[in-house]
Structure 1
Amino acid sequence: MVLEELKMSRYVQNIRGVVNFEITNKFASHLGTIVGNYVGPEKRVVVGRDLNVPSQMIKRSITTGLMAAGVDVIDFGVAPIPVIHYSREFYNANVMITISKSHLRPEDVDIKIFSDHEIPLEQRHADKVSWNQIGTLRYVHEYREKYIKGVLDEIDVSAINKKSFLIVLDCEGGDMPFAPQLLHKINCETVLIGCNENTLEGDFPEPSPKRISLVSELTTAIGADMGVLLDNDHDRAVFIDQNGNMIRDQTVLGIFAKYILENNPNGTVVSSVVASQSVDEMVIKNGGKIIKTSVNTVLNEIEDSEAIFGGDEPGMYVFPEFQNCFDAIFSVMKMLEILAKKDTTLSKLAREIKEYNRTVFTIECEHDKKYEVMDAFKTKFESGEEINVVDGVRVDLEDSFILIRPSRFEPLIRVYIESKSAEKLQKLTESVQTMIEKV
């Protein structure tokens, strides 16, 4: 089981483990009571989940634990993270908890706890209230229309309505109606894939090559304007152009940033150290400022710097004018607004953003060797090169960059290399692999 703490615009604590082995009902109930002790009796906590059956079981156990601590629980049922995040303050909730199928392993479940302050989650005794102080449980539904109205108020509905777009949508989250309902309300004809509970056995909750290929083929076959794939949490989106080509997430970052900077000159854009050189160049060219921060603190930096836009891989985008949360649903609506107002296609938008040769891979590395690798890499480049150590070590060369980041929980080093020259990319890749393997 893994406990990860990330300081974002709020504290987000992510607990991941195998259902019924590491994340048991007893563990989940105890966790709920620990959180409830922190929140305090008669306070409110919002909970929600994806369609995964284990997520349903674990959410119920967490709920009973919260109630045992005297906390009132507001249950959103099956709802995506951005929708829960958008509506949490409407219910005056102090904490938000979501449960979903892990992107890493099918037997794992992810529990995410969002709060204004860090919650101590060490194993300890949990205090339960007396029988007449047990918290209440309330199921709510009005948040759905609240979110949909909020999205429609933030985009140019009139411009999109006139285009009558045809969209292929794969929403792995299952029967969560938000994206299809919004597309219907803005006059888009939509072909749905996977937007029900009958997902394939063994499917991962994020866009797989098989699913991307299916959406690509269908998009071209029916002459759709765009294909879109959402993950089960609806905080990640993959875009397919009208020709069936998947658009790189770094290119999508550039498209969004360029459009928003046109309407907000001199604004700040935030991404992580993973960001492509093309994003840097595009932001600067359009009069903006780019901030590259840790992968784990993108949301926090967006709030602190009052950024106009932010995002990160894989396919996670933030529009602060709407909410400071990775929101794939709003990202789709914003992309349609751009297509409509510019009267263009996604492939043309993508061609306006430079794409450089790029590779991402992992190398096995024991935990006790990781910092030795980091130090050796930093020492090799520290004279004369620009080095960023906010998250791993990133070295910016004249026309390339190398980033190595140690995995927090796996015996791996993650490597990102980008170059404007395919030949140099190959040489840098071989050099980095050799250096790490020697250490």
Structure 2
Amino acid sequence: MGRLFGTDGVRGVANADLTAELALGLSVAAAHVLAEAGTFEGHRPTAVVGRDPRASGEFLEAAVVAGLASAGVDVLRVGVLPTPAVAYLTGVLGADIGVMLSASHNAMPDNGVKFFARGGHKLADELEDRIETVYDQHRTGAPWARPTGAGVGRVTDYTEGFERYVAHLIGVLPNRLDGLKVVLDEAHGAAAYVSPEAFARAGAEVVTIGADPDGLNINDGCGSTHLGLLQAAVVENGADFGIAHDGDADRCLAVDAQGNEIDGDQILAVLALAMRDAGQLRGNTVVGTVMSNLGFKMAMEREGIELVQTAVGDRYVLEAMKAEGYALGGEQSGHVIVLDHATTGDGTLTGLMLAARVAATGRTLAELAGVMQRLPQVLVNVPDVDKSRVSTSAELAAAVAEAERELGATGRVLLRKSGTEPLVRVMVEAADFGQAQAIAGRLADVVKSALG
């Protein structure tokens, strides 16, 4: 069996790759690893379980809840809430385990199981490996230790989760948003009700699109992976800016008043200066990834702010932040972590803090984001290849070396395998867009021929 966990939990096509049986088994294994169910006399382990609105989340939630309860874990079922809400509630309620059912920005047929440890923190690789080991041992014949009678877990609907999370978001804002008009694209996802409520309570005039989830339309032509509708809505409504979330609302992208995209690097730049000015940017450092635009790095250098870069994935950003005590980090894709207020990327919190900076300064989002100039960056996803060989192919290594010689000091090349999809991602950055596009296309062809 190959490794089940990717960069963000266990994902696959629901009821094909990710079955009810797999979700149940993983939940029991997680209970044995994370909650150590039954090993402490008098200890009743607790789990918080939430999901996004995907139709498949209904049966997968039932499987996860059944698995946890069968292992002696009491379950607080919070229903449809964003991933960061489940992480927050796991921490504030003192739960042993958090579980979020979502495939984030993926299309509706996919789903995923994401676990959080005590405190609402994502799992380290070694914990994921232990869960897989326990699950695989059971799958190949080793019996579970099963409680009976009063030892089985109890299941409760925790309806207070929505209000408690919204109150938390409002409580950490540095200032109100009165006078701002904001369009919110909720991707028909997990933040469809949370995000508009939070922005309205903070004082903004809110226009919503993509806020009618029916279980089938999540991420369908809307949200952070499809900004066209938001760009049009911002201009049409004369809004100050727009905010787009993905299906589980752990990321945030923005659109300025003219309909121009503001990506995660630009959002990080705006928040980094805001936190520096407020004396909150610990170590005078922001954490990004190897995908961070060179323009972001140059802007931070100009502002006297250090940039630490990690592997792609907000979990690696978070690990670096926790290791050194940094307060702000994130990804170009819109995962932004404000560690004083969240244990994971929180798209609603990010949008609120961005809006608060606009309101506090009286400057437009375009002006604030102008602190950095994005260098042209071309990303090509190459499907249907053996992504495991991306770092070992001699043919591919030679092509990359030639591209790097051509770019010199004015650009860079990055090839990486996707942690959530069967893809190899080819990224080329250059001072000239045409050059970046040509080199990316050439490398994509080599990936196809070498790894196909």
Return 5+ residue gaps in structure 1 as ranges.
7-12, 386-394
- 2:390 paired residue among 354, 365, 370: 370
2:110 maps to 108
**CA distance in structure 2 between the partners assigned to 1:409 and 1:177 by the alignment:** 27
Residue identity opposite 2:197 in structure 1: Q
- 1:294 paired residue among 308, 311, 330: 311
**CA distance in structure 1 between the partners assigned to 2:191 and 2:107 by the alignment:** 22
**CA distance in structure 1 between the partners assigned to 2:246 and 2:439 by the alignment:** 33
Pair 198,37 (structure 1): closer, same or farther in 2 beyond 3 Å:
closer
1:406 equivalent in alignment to 2:406 = no
Residue identity opposite 1:355 in structure 2: R
Pair 71,409 (structure 1): closer, same or farther in 2 beyond 3 Å:
closer
2:278 maps to 263
Are the counterparts in 1 of residues 104 and 246 from structure 2 also a CA contact under 8 Å? Answer: no
Following superposition, which runs of at least 4 residues in structure 1 exceed 6 angstroms of deviation?
A: none
**CA distance in structure 2 between the partners assigned to 1:359 and 1:174 by the alignment:** 30
- How far did residue 234 of structure 1 move? 0.8
Deviates more, 1:130-139 or 1:198-207: 198-207
Q: TM-score, normalised by structure 1?
A: 0.86
- The SS at the match of 1:398 is helix
**CA distance in structure 2 between the partners assigned to 1:167 and 1:379 by the alignment:** 45
Deviations 1:73-118 (A, max 9, x none): 1111111111111121222111110112453343221111122561
Are the counterparts in 2 of residues 175 and 197 from structure 1 also a CA contact under 8 Å? Answer: no
Deviations 1:324-376 (A, max 9, x none): 31000011111111101110111222233212111001345434642333785
Return 5+ residue gaps in structure 2 as ranges.
39-43
- How far did residue 271 of structure 1 move? 0.9
2:41 maps to none
Are the counterparts in 2 of residues 49 and 80 from structure 1 also a CA contact under 8 Å? Answer: yes
Deviations 1:398-431 (A, max 9, x none): 2211111133576643111111233543554366
Pair 23,372 (structure 1): closer, same or farther in 2 beyond 3 Å:
closer
Pair 102,155 (structure 1): closer, same or farther in 2 beyond 3 Å:
closer
Deviates more, 1:215-224 or 1:19-28: 19-28
- The SS at the match of 1:371 is coil
1:243 equivalent in alignment to 2:254 = no
Q: TM-score, normalised by structure 2?
A: 0.83
Deviates more, 1:145-154 or 1:89-98: 145-154
1:227 maps to 242
Are the counterparts in 2 of residues 205 and 231 from structure 1 also a CA contact under 8 Å? Answer: no
- The SS at the match of 1:157 is coil
2:14 maps to 19
Pair 195,4 (structure 1): closer, same or farther in 2 beyond 3 Å:
same
Residue identity opposite 1:153 in structure 2: G
Pair 182,244 (structure 1): closer, same or farther in 2 beyond 3 Å:
same
Deviates more, 1:198-207 or 1:274-283: 198-207
Residue identity opposite 1:100 in structure 2: S
1:415 equivalent in alignment to 2:426 = yes
**CA distance in structure 2 between the partners assigned to 1:399 and 1:155 by the alignment:** 39
- The SS at the match of 1:179 is helix
Pair 17,37 (structure 1): closer, same or farther in 2 beyond 3 Å:
same
Pair 404,152 (structure 1): closer, same or farther in 2 beyond 3 Å:
same
Q: CA RMSD in A?
A: 2.9
- The SS at the match of 1:52 is coil
Pair 56,430 (structure 1): closer, same or farther in 2 beyond 3 Å:
closer
- The SS at the match of 1:197 is coil
**CA distance in structure 2 between the partners assigned to 1:120 and 1:202 by the alignment:** 29
- How far did residue 175 of structure 1 move? 7.0
Pair 287,32 (structure 1): closer, same or farther in 2 beyond 3 Å:
same
Paired residue total: 419
**CA distance in structure 2 between the partners assigned to 1:49 and 1:89 by the alignment:** 17
1:273 maps to 290
Pair 379,169 (structure 1): closer, same or farther in 2 beyond 3 Å:
closer
- How far did residue 190 of structure 1 move? 0.9
Pair 375,17 (structure 1): closer, same or farther in 2 beyond 3 Å:
same
Pair 426,87 (structure 1): closer, same or farther in 2 beyond 3 Å:
closer
2:146 maps to 128
Q: In proportion to residue count, which structure has more strand?
A: 1
1:313 maps to 332
Are the counterparts in 2 of residues 103 and 205 from structure 1 also a CA contact under 8 Å? Answer: no
**CA distance in structure 2 between the partners assigned to 1:302 and 1:374 by the alignment:** 35
Are the counterparts in 2 of residues 51 and 174 from structure 1 also a CA contact under 8 Å? Answer: yes
